[in-house]
């Protein structure tokens, strides 16, 4: 069996130096909780990690697509889309991606005096249900804010801010209802298509099929498609792809992400297909779009 720890296409990873970690341990602002490593692995086939002696940090693994597994003791658990796990220190474990449907994961290693406060035994996967109140993308944006601050600089201000943001990120898992309450609306306020579009935006980085969307809303694919088309005059899949291209434009304009990372982040496994769809919808290739918009923004 092929197994690989790191070095995947489209992966992002930042390891914090021991010197910075030592400073965090001595800093009253950050010693409660601080980051030692952070990463994003998209559809990481053959991903495998074995910690047979345990580690000295906590790790949160948030799966947003595909499937994975982890083993603690003699028990093996599966981890699927919209689930997360927190693995504690001093516990031997192993984990990896499902061979046929590899997971996409956001993960953070963290330590600190209050790190244990976010861990609730037993070590089992916990569901984060996707609905119109779930704020899945808000949670991803929190992760990106942490990551981008660490990427900008390892200077104390950036690192301290990122570690303080980690409190918010972990709290969004521990206090799910409170996290959702901020933007909660009654379902009756939404038309059917609005609920579907919200669900699409929450899963913008995943590959949703018509069958998956229909199943989520308890309709047959044909009935689901007909209802959506009646309100939007577009098929669900075409609308979903349009939202992905809209998000791609935001990344191209507002971030320094490489185009190869953007198409993977948005669930396009084939770069040529992404470029073809983008060009068809926007009338220009992704690379030319970025150059054009950067020029316009400078004027």
Summarised one tens digit per residue, pLDDT across range 163-192 is: 999 999 999 999 888 887 766 554 446 788
Domains of the chain in sequence order? 12-181 (2.60.120.280), 187-298 (1.10.10.60)
**What are the distances in angstroms from CA 17 to CA 14, 58, 82, 154?**
10, 17, 31, 9
The model carries a pTM of: 0.66
Residue that has been written with the tokens 């434009």 in this structure: 249
Quote the pLDDT of residue 185: 53
Question: What does residue 119 show for φ and ψ, rounded to 5 degrees?
Answer: -105, 130
Comparing CA positions, the residue from 232, 181, 186, 180 lying closest to residue 202 is 180
Residue 299: the pLDDT is: 44
Which of 40-44, 65-69, 125-129 has the largest mean confidence? 65-69
CA distances from 87 to 35, 56, 57, 92 (A): 15, 11, 9, 9
Per-residue confidence at 154, pLDDT binned at 50, 70, 90? low
- What is the rounded CA–CA span in Å between residue 41 and residue 203? 16
% of residues, the chain, pLDDT over 90:
52
């Amino acid at each position: 069996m092929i197994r690989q720890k790191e070095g995947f296409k489209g992966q992002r990873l930042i390891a914090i130096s021991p010197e910075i970690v030592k400073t965090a341990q001595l800093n009253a602002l950050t010693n409660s909780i601080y980051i030692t490593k952070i990463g994003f692995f998209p559809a990481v086939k053959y991903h495998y990690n074995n910690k047979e002696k345990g580690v000295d940090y906590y790790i949160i693994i948030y799966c947003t697509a595909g499937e994975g597994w982890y083993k603690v003791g003699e028990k093996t658990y599966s981890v699927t889309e919209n689930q997360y796990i927190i693995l504690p220190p001093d516990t031997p474990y192993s984990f990896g991606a499902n061979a046929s449907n590899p997971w996409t994961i956001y993960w953070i290693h963290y330590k600190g005096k209050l790190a244990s406060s976010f861990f609730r035994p037993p070590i089992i996967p916990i569901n984060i249900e996707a609905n119109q109140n779930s704020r899945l993308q808000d949670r991803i944006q929190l992760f990106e804010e942490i990551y981008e601050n660490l990427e900008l600089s390892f200077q104390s201000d950036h690192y301290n801010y990122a570690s303080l943001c980690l409190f918010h990120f972990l709290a969004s898992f521990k206090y799910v209802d409170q996290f959702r309450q901020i933007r909660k609306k009654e379902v009756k306020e939404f038309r059917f298509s609005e609920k579907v579009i919200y669900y699409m935006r929450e899963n913008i980085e995943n590959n949703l099929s018509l069958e998956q969307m229909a199943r989520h809303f308890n309709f047959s694919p044909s009935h689901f498609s007909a209802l959506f088309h009646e309100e939007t005059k577009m098929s669900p899949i075409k609308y979903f792809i349009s939202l992905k291209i809209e998000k791609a434009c935001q990344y191209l304009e507002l971030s320094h992400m490489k185009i190869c990372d953007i198409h993977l982040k948005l669930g396009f496994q084939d770069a040529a297909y992404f470029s073809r769809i983008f060009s068809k919808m926007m009338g220009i290739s992704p690379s030319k779009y970025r150059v054009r918009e950067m020029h316009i923004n400078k004027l």
